[in-house]
Structure 1
Amino acid sequence: MMPVYKAFSRRFIILSMLLGLLLSGFFGAMLYQKELAIIETDFKRDVDDKAMALERELLANLEVLFAIKSLFNSSEEVTANEFENLASDFLARHHDIQALEWAPKVTGDNREAFEAARREIYPDFEFTERASQGSMTKAGIRDVYFPVYFVEPLKGNEVAFGFDLASNESRLSMINRAIDRDLTLATKSITLVQEVFDQKGFLIVMPVYEGEPSTVSKRQEKLQGIVLGVYRIADIFESAVKHTGATGIRLLLKDNTGADAEELYANYSSDKVLGSLQKSFSYSRSLKRIGGRQWTLIATPSQGYIAERQSLLPFFVCAFGSIFVLVGGGYIFLATEHSTMIREEAVERNRELDEAKLALEELSFTDGLTGIANRQCFDIRFEEEWLRALRDGTSLSLIMVDLDNFRLFNNTYGYIGGDQCLRDIANKLALTTNRTTDLVARYDADQFVILLPNTDEPVLLADKCRINIEKLHIPYQASSVSDYMTVSVGVASMIPTKHRSQADFMANVKELLAQAKELGKNRVGIARDILAANRGDILKFQYSQGRSTE
């Protein structure tokens, strides 16, 4: 019996050891994978922090240009000293700006006068253009010039002083597009005229007009010049991310605006080979559009980043589990319990995160695409304002805005263009209303509503919304109504009573909107009449018919 018992015991021990080793290896691998998942989540959060820091830096620099533009808008003639004083204050706080510049519009007949004016202080000043990299020559004869007339700081940017931005066809085309549409635009990556090293930069241009021209011809006529910000991409990038916490992240910045993506900057050497684990962590984050450019941040962790966040726990579970198996079966139980506890903690953590996420989603009243209130928020506010107006005996007005032929717009410009159109219109509607009690919300795919408690002029606001949206000049060549995106509007007001319902009120507004569309679109439907799309007709209607009714 003993040999048989010993053989059985030996086989049992061997099998137990093998089973224990397999279990130890399994739990070690499981902890390793769970640890990697946590590291990946932390990595994405760190990259998002850097992307948001870069977005904030770009927006802060854009605000500087708006401030410079305000200087020219508020003064009939800005002197070099005024420009220098304001620009130097900003440059002292924004070290990543290469230069702030002013380039007036100069016709060929006025060239000599402009050059002579600057030669009073700078005897060698003249309009220049690029002959070769780092070499400048006198600008050729052309009808219109955009010379860099003011530049701060001058030191380090001497070669750009007097440089004619109109000397480059692609840059001139971008400038004309900004002028015609009153847009703030950024160039693609360029080599700056003042650059002596192989470092990429870009310009942001902002047109300045006399007054507020609303047409292309008027903008060209009233143009004073353009405000420019000159930036080195590396300086912007490093200034933005240096204050973020995480290190050891390989970052690549790309410009995805055109058909072909262009690499703008990388904070690492391209000759290093990535491991398979590093590649599996690769993460892309699109930045907000700045000056019409779409930049994307692509990140991969360094080996040090991963190693710093990895623990020896998976190794210890496997190693000590094996030792415990060899020493005795009692240690197997301890190793299993330890692994189970960690797994349960990880599951509980994920469950809590999921519950928190669901709670936040349930509380969110913001439309994910446009950033304004969504349908759920509107329904709640509509109910609240209706009951308040019913209780107080005050009026309640409702404006419904519908994009004309939006499905055709999507088919023509694609869903990306359609989404951007919705965002632009939502932003303009939000800016058009000026009372904190008013609510602008996205009601349907291509419909918006404006809830106006206790207001006296809903008709004027409705027409103002229609006019402001058309002034956005969102191109729409396929439209049968206009060359730009237009909207039809329905507007109604009433004092709620117990005999009226919200549904009736809403149905009335939708009916007015439908009448506006049937009569040609780009109109405001008021009561039983549809008015032509201009403020004069609205005013005439109000004097003759009174304010809008239910």
Structure 2
Amino acid sequence: MNKKPPHFFKSITSLSTFSRVVIFCTVCLLLIVYEKNKNDFRKDEGYRFINLSNNQYYLIKNNLDKSLVDLDLLGSVIESQPNLTRNEFKNYATRIISHTPEIQALEWIPKVTKFNRQKIENEGKKYFSNFNITQKKDKGMLPDIQRSVYYPVYYVEPYVGNECALGFNLDSDPKRSFALHLAEKNKTIIATESIKLVQETDGQRGVLIFNPIFTHEKTASRTQEDQLIGFSLVVLRMGDLVNRALSKNSSTPIFLTIYDVLLLPFF
């Protein structure tokens, strides 16, 4: 027994050819409009995502740039006053950090030879009775071994929260040593790879940025030769830097991960 076609199809078949063409064109037009609106929506969302991403990128970059400016400023102060006292350093560093709170610490890292290690440690003990040039071991911070040259953290501000760093010979750690010697060689600002700070208690990754400081002395041939006297240094906790930057952004948040392309994620 043959079934009768549904009423809808029966109605369609009863339409004229012209009416069928009109319906077909209308359906096609609706599909085209739908696809166009869908593509426009995707483009709008894509542009919105790009704008949000760029906004967050520049907020982070601006915070990092401010830290580099402060590092360079501190370096200029030390270069013009190589015998800067601890209190003078504290005053300069405190003023700098007051408007750049994302900085974990500012430090002065002098070049210390084995011949004046004892003198430096004695000077440090005038302010901190347990001051020593140290290295990091599994058991904690221990007096460093005998070396020809040391690069200890001699001044650090703020001191509170960075106590473990005071006296730490940065040349005793391979990652820090690589960056400081590269900065000396190239006579330019160099950052370490992602590291765990000796003062870190919260699992954040950090980075040290070295700014080499030279004196310009005339040699026997009366040519000027740059002599490294040490480094001004800025310590950054990447989580703090990123969070402070993005706290200025009131737009819709996006998930963000910052990578050192060769190593571990920074944040």
Same fold (TM over 0.5): yes
Residue 167 of structure 1 pairs with residue 175 of structure 2: no
Gaps of 5+ in 2: 1-9
CA distance change for structure 1 residues 93 and 212 in 2, over 3 Å: closer, same or farther?
Answer: farther
In proportion to residue count, which structure has more helix? Answer: 1
CA distance change for structure 1 residues 25 and 154 in 2, over 3 Å: closer, same or farther?
Answer: same
Residue 196 of structure 1 pairs with residue 196 of structure 2: no
- The residue number in structure 2 matching 1:74 is 80
Tell me which of 138, 144, 150 is aligned to 1:145.
150
- The residue number in structure 1 matching 2:98 is 92
SS for the counterpart of 1:183 is coil
- The residue number in structure 1 matching 2:248 is 243
- The residue number in structure 2 matching 1:263 is 265
CA distance change for structure 1 residues 213 and 238 in 2, over 3 Å: closer, same or farther?
Answer: farther
Post-superposition Cα deviations, 1:125-168, rounded to whole Å, max 9, x if no partner, equal 111111128x2111111111111010000101001011111111
Give, as a single letter, the amino acid of the residue that structure 2 aligns with 1:36.
R
User: Quick one: distance in 1 between partners of 2:134 and 2:252?
Assistant: 44
- The residue number in structure 2 matching 1:319 is none
Give, as a single letter, the amino acid of the residue that structure 2 aligns with 1:122.
F
TM-score normalised by length of structure 1: 0.43
2:12–2:20 Cα contact (<8 Å) kept: no
Residues 270-419 of structure 1 aligned to structure 2 (within 5 Å): none
User: Quick one: distance in 2 between partners of 1:41 and 1:154?
Assistant: 45
CA distance change for structure 1 residues 7 and 113 in 2, over 3 Å: closer, same or farther?
Answer: closer
- The residue number in structure 1 matching 2:68 is 62
User: Quick one: distance in 1 between partners of 2:260 and 2:178?
Assistant: 19
CA distance change for structure 1 residues 167 and 36 in 2, over 3 Å: closer, same or farther?
Answer: same
SS for the counterpart of 2:258 is strand
**Cα distance, 1:36 vs. partner?**
1.2
Q: Which moved more, 1:46-55 or 1:222-231?
A: 46-55
CA distance change for structure 1 residues 67 and 13 in 2, over 3 Å: closer, same or farther?
Answer: same
**Cα distance, 1:46 vs. partner?**
2.5
- The residue number in structure 1 matching 2:7 is none
Post-superposition Cα deviations, 1:345-373, rounded to whole Å, max 9, x if no partner, equal xxxxxxxxxxxxxxxxxxxxxxxxxxxxx
TM-score normalised by length of structure 2: 0.85
Post-superposition Cα deviations, 1:2-49, rounded to whole Å, max 9, x if no partner, equal xx9996338877775565445333312211111211221232122222
User: Quick one: distance in 2 between partners of 1:101 and 1:264?
Assistant: 22
User: Quick one: distance in 1 between partners of 2:11 and 2:110?
Assistant: 102
CA distance change for structure 1 residues 19 and 213 in 2, over 3 Å: closer, same or farther?
Answer: farther
Give, as a single letter, the amino acid of the residue that structure 2 aligns with 1:48.
N
Which structure's relative contact order is higher, taking Cα pairs within 8 Å and 6+ residues apart?
Answer: 2
User: Quick one: distance in 1 between partners of 2:169 and 2:263?
Assistant: 29
- The residue number in structure 1 matching 2:46 is 40
SS for the counterpart of 1:254 is coil
User: Quick one: distance in 1 between partners of 2:44 and 2:263?
Assistant: 31
Give, as a single letter, the amino acid of the residue that structure 1 aligns with 2:245.
A
* % identical equivalent positions: 29
User: Quick one: distance in 2 between partners of 1:7 and 1:40?
Assistant: 45
Give, as a single letter, the amino acid of the residue that structure 2 aligns with 1:79.
T
**Cα distance, 1:209 vs. partner?**
1.5
- The residue number in structure 1 matching 2:6 is none
- The residue number in structure 1 matching 2:5 is none
**Cα distance, 1:213 vs. partner?**
8.3
User: Quick one: distance in 1 between partners of 2:41 and 2:73?
Assistant: 48
Post-superposition Cα deviations, 1:184-218, rounded to whole Å, max 9, x if no partner, equal 1001100000012221100000111123789xx94
User: Quick one: distance in 1 between partners of 2:82 and 2:54?
Assistant: 44
Post-superposition Cα deviations, 1:323-380, rounded to whole Å, max 9, x if no partner, equal xxxxxxxxxxxxxxxxxxxxxxxxxxxxxxxxxxxxxxxxxxxxxxxxxxxxxxxxxx
CA distance change for structure 1 residues 68 and 124 in 2, over 3 Å: closer, same or farther?
Answer: same
- The residue number in structure 2 matching 1:9 is 15
User: Quick one: distance in 2 between partners of 1:52 and 1:241?
Assistant: 10
User: Quick one: distance in 1 between partners of 2:217 and 2:41?
Assistant: 58
User: Quick one: distance in 2 between partners of 1:155 and 1:7?
Assistant: 87
Residue 229 of structure 1 pairs with residue 231 of structure 2: no
User: Quick one: distance in 1 between partners of 2:249 and 2:233?
Assistant: 28
User: Quick one: distance in 2 between partners of 1:96 and 1:150?
Assistant: 19
Aligned residues: CA RMSD: 2.7
**Cα distance, 1:227 vs. partner?**
0.8
Tell me which of 152, 162, 170 is aligned to 1:157.
162
- The residue number in structure 2 matching 1:407 is none
User: Quick one: distance in 2 between partners of 1:209 and 1:5?
Assistant: 93
- The residue number in structure 1 matching 2:115 is 109
User: Quick one: distance in 1 between partners of 2:113 and 2:11?
Assistant: 109
2:191–2:209 Cα contact (<8 Å) kept: yes
Aligned residue pairs total: 254
2:192–2:209 Cα contact (<8 Å) kept: yes
